[in-house]
Amino acid sequence: MKKLINDPFDFVDETIEGILIAHGDHFKRCEGSDRALMRADGPIEGKVGIATGGGSGHIPVFLGYVGHGLCDAVSIGNVFSSPSPDDMLAATKAADGGAGVLHLYGNYSGDKLNFGMAAEMAEMEDIEVATVLARDDVSSAPVEEMDSRRAVAGLFFAYKIAGARAEEGASLGEVAGVAEQAAVNTRSMGVALTPCTIPAAGEPTFEIGADEMELGMGIHGEPGVRRGKIMPADDVVDEMLEHILPDLPFESGDEVAVLVNSLGATPPEELYIMYRRVHRVLGEKGIEIYRSFIGEYATSLEMAGASVSLLKLEGELKRLLDAEAYSPLPPRFGA
């Protein structure tokens, strides 16, 4: 294991400390928690707050999605582990501007349990809470069991769209509604080439041969749909799209946003090679790409691999996707 760290057990807290030092004009700690951050200008009175959270190891998820046009507060757990209910409650209270708070996060059992406890505690303090779960990974369950699917990089679209609607002064129900629309209109699939190493564990999260890849693997190393020899990028993208496109389905005449995301160690050159193939295949099928996002939007420490996400744009999703947003951590938000 080669990492530029100090004590592995200080990994998360030193990461948060570094972010606060580098971006103190953007973030501040939530009252009562060392593992929860909020917008420096928050809470915003009269605005629906959005609180998110999850395990560390995925920057820019989750810390990078706090800011104008995005989330209002975030709680962070140990690497690949859920934050505590108390930290999530601190983030919820910090996000509350008096109009209620949306809990927006990935569909993982630990997060659901602890966020649920935090929501109950917040409601005891007269904070109204709604919940929307991202569940975009087509490889994790069949479409008829979508509520069992895990989240991957497509969570980015829900953050962007819900955050934009909240900035417009919408009600909690309206913000939750567009977040859910973004969630159910998003499909993703990933491919892993190497494992990653959790600092405190000191060993890879799984084993994979030097000449192998795993299609559909989750961002924590959850099993995918198949393991085999590494294929050319075009073949990998084709197989991903064979799973993604019929799942919604995406059809001729649809407009979509495309996210090609690095899991941490895959360089931009390889992402653009993948995107060119996505563009070609969608064009041949009559599906128009309205916006594209290429870079690191949801990582898994130093895992080599990538994911492709498609968001079907309907109703007000296009307008909200285009709205202004800012955080110092992710690569690109604006038009």
Active site residue ranges: 58, 220
Question: Residue written as tokens 């994979």?
Answer: 208
Question: Which run of H or E residues covers position 28?
Answer: strand 27-29
Rounded Cα gap, residues 305 and 324, in angstroms: 29
* Three-state DSSP class for residue 41: coil
Two tokens, residue 145:
């069991």
283 touches 245 (CB < 8 A): no
Two tokens, residue 77:
């757990």
Q: Which of 83, 70, 73 is nearest to 12 (CA)?
A: 83
Residues in contact with 6: Cβ distance below 8 Å, sequence separation at least 6, in sequence order = 14
Q: Which of 274, 314, 283, 328 is nearest to 157 (CA)?
A: 314
Residues in contact with 194: Cβ distance below 8 Å, sequence separation at least 6, in sequence order = 208, 265, 302, 303, 304, 305
Q: How many helices (H) and strands (E) does the chain have?
A: 8, 12
* Three-state DSSP class for residue 214: strand
E strand map for 33-128: 36-39, 49-56, 73-79, 101-106
Q: Which of 74, 79, 50, 51 is nearest to 63 (CA)?
A: 74
Two tokens, residue 270:
């390889």
Q: Which of 283, 331, 25 is nearest to 156 (CA)?
A: 331
